């Protein structure tokens, strides 16, 4: 009976068994690390989705603003063209300041169209 007990103790406390138990602990630690990293990745993905929704909303708001700016700029250009026609009929020179305003309005229209095209990618 002593021999059997000795064999049992030898098997239980041999270095081989300790290494295997350590390996099991290491494997469990790695599994826990994997689970934690997976949860962190999921949380970051969810955060990214939420931020993407915010970006889409901001892009939509910016597009609306650029469209409104283009509408107003078109009104400026039309008013300038009417003013220019009247000034020519009367033989008057158009002040440089007014010409610059009309040019700026045309630039707003052009840049607004470009900005809208770029922002469409975010929607």
pLDDT in the model for residue 33: 86
Report which of 116, 28, 15, 118 is spatially closest to residue 67, judged by C-alpha positions.
Answer: 116
**10 vs 78, which has greater pLDDT?**
78
Q: Determine the Cα–Cα distance for residues 85 and 88; give it in Å rounded to an integer.
A: 5
Q: What is the pLDDT of residues 17-44, one digit of tens each?
A: 444 555 556 677 788 888 889 899 999 9
| Percentage of residues of the chain with pLDDT beyond 70 | 78
Q: Determine the Cα–Cα distance for residues 68 and 76; give it in Å rounded to an integer.
A: 12
pLDDT in the model for residue 30: 83
Domains in the chain: boundaries: 2-120
Structure tokens at 80: 């300038």
Burial class (CB in 10 A: 0-12, 13-18, 19+), 24: exposed
16 has a pLDDT exceeding 60: no
């Amino acid at each position: 009976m002593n021999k059997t007990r000795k064999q049992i103790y030898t098997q239980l406390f041999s270095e081989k068994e300790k290494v295997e138990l350590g390996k099991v602990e290491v494997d469990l630690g790695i599994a826990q690390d994997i689970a934690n990293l997976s949860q962190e990745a999921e949380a970051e993905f969810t955060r990214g989705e939420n931020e993407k929704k915010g970006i889409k909303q901001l892009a939509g708001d910016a597009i609306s603003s650029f469209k409104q700016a283009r509408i107003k700029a078109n009104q400026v250009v039309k008013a300038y063209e009417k003013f220019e026609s009247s000034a020519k009929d009367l033989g008057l020179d158009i002040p440089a300041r007014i010409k610059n305003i009309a040019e700026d309005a045309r630039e707003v229209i052009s840049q607004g169209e470009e900005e809208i095209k770029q922002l469409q990618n975010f929607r």
